[in-house]
Amino acid sequence: MRRDQAKQTIGILRDAVAGIDRRHAGVGGAAWTDGSADGGASFGFPPLDDVFEGGFPAHALHEIRCPLTRDIGAATGFLAAMLVACLKDRQGPVVWIADPAARLESGEIFPAGLSMFGVDPSRLLVIHPAELKSALWASDEAAGCHDLAAVIFHMRGNPGLCDMTATRRLMMKARDSRVFACILRQAGEEEASAVATRWRVQARPSLADAIFEGGIGPLRLDLALERNRHGRTGQWAIAWNHRSRRFEQVPTHYVDRPALPFDRPHGAPQTGQVVALDRAS
């Protein structure tokens, strides 16, 4: 027990020293040396990857939050995208810990949807703890297991139990056991924690589908990097291309109707004729 505490203290001090070093070396640049140790994972989307100089640190604790519960779908989508980036060259199971309060509001993870996103559902170990305390304990245990590829802790709001100390412990365990750890926080406020990055995700109205006009286009998100321990923060409007499984830029000025495709024949013309109607009165 005492050894654990000592280990933690050393970890905290090490973090502090690293922080001082970084400040002296200036933000960014050469200070970001242990990128390989953190297992950089790339989104494959230059604007996002540039913030991390190549890839975000996969072996660390991250947080994805959405201010409103109705955005949890979008937040889960961004998490799935991060998982796709992390699991690309990593074996091992993914532990998904769902706090009962969060599960009640947002439902269960759906394997069919997950595999369409590109995450193999058979890799998932789903934990349903009875209360937040055991959920936190379970994520702590899981983050310390080096056989895993990722640990997801899905929670609701800003419970006091998951404070600076708890997140710091998770962060250190994830770094030591080289696991991608992520807090998925629904209906949560911004709060001080030890996470490496914190993202705020909101849904964004989509464009019409290129093929089916009345249909729904690819997933689009308003993404904000609120906190980044190792670099810049930023805001992006991005779209998820589920065919290439990568993010794409959303044009800032877009027309609602896409231009007709140049590599395909024109679609059938609409039947009938558009006429101007007379005023009713």
Partner 1 sequence: MTGRPDVPPLVAISRIRNAQRIVAVEEEGERAGLRRGQSLSDARALAPDLDSFDHDAEADMALLTSVAIWCDRYTPLVAIDQPSDAIAGGCGGLFLDISGCVHLYGGEQAMLGDVTARLRGAGFAAQAAIADTAGAAWAAARYGDRRIVEPGDQPAALGGLPLAALRLDPDCIDMLGKLGLRTIGCIADLPRAPLAARFGAQLLRRLDQALGREEEVIQPRLPAAELASEKIFAEPVALQEDIERTIGLLAANLQPLMDARQVGARRLELRLFRVDGKVAAIEVRSAGPVHTPDRIQMLFRERIAGFHEDLDAGFGFDLIRLNVLESQERSVRQGDLVAGAHAHEAFDSLVDRLGARLGVDRVLRLAAADAHIPERSFGLVSAAGDHPDSSGFAAAAEAPCVITRPLLLFDRPELVEAIAEAPDGPPVRFRWRRAVYRIVRSEGPERIGAQWWLEGRGGRSRDYYRVEDDEGHRFWIFRHGLFGRETAHPKWYMHGLFA
Minimum distance between the CB of residue 155 and partner 1, rounded to whole angstroms?
15
- The closest of 236, 221, 241 to 71, measured between CA atoms, is 221
Binding residues (CB under 8 A) for partner 1: these are 70-74, 76-78, 80, 92-93, 95, 106-118, 120-122, 124-130, 134, 137-138, 141-142, 145-148, 202-206, 208-209, 212, 214-216, 219-220, 240, 242-245
Minimum distance between the CB of residue 237 and partner 1, rounded to whole angstroms?
11
- The closest of 126, 227, 124 to 167, measured between CA atoms, is 227
Amino acid residing at 246: R
Q: Give the position of tokens 């759906």.
A: 110
Give the residue with the Cβ less far from partner 1, 6 or 216.
216
Minimum distance between the CB of residue 123 and partner 1, rounded to whole angstroms?
9
* DSSP 8-class letter at 275: -
- The encoded tokens of residue 76 equal 């889960």
Give the residue with the Cβ less far from partner 1, 58 or 94.
94
Give the residue with the Cβ less far from partner 1, 53 or 177.
177
- The closest of 203, 198, 195 to 221, measured between CA atoms, is 203
Whether the Cβ atoms of residue 57 and residue 196 lie closer than 8 Å to each other:
yes
Give the residue with the Cβ less far from partner 1, 177 or 229.
177
Give the residue with the Cβ less far from partner 1, 149 or 230.
149
Give the residue with the Cβ less far from partner 1, 26 or 205.
205
Minimum distance between the CB of residue 271 and partner 1, rounded to whole angstroms?
20
* DSSP 8-class letter at 59: S
Q: Phi/psi of residue 83, each to 5°? A: -65, -40
Minimum distance between the CB of residue 110 and partner 1, rounded to whole angstroms?
4
Task: List CB contacts of 41: < 8 A, sequence separation 6 or more.
Answer: 55, 56, 57, 58, 82, 85, 86, 88, 180
Minimum distance between the CB of residue 67 and partner 1, rounded to whole angstroms?
12
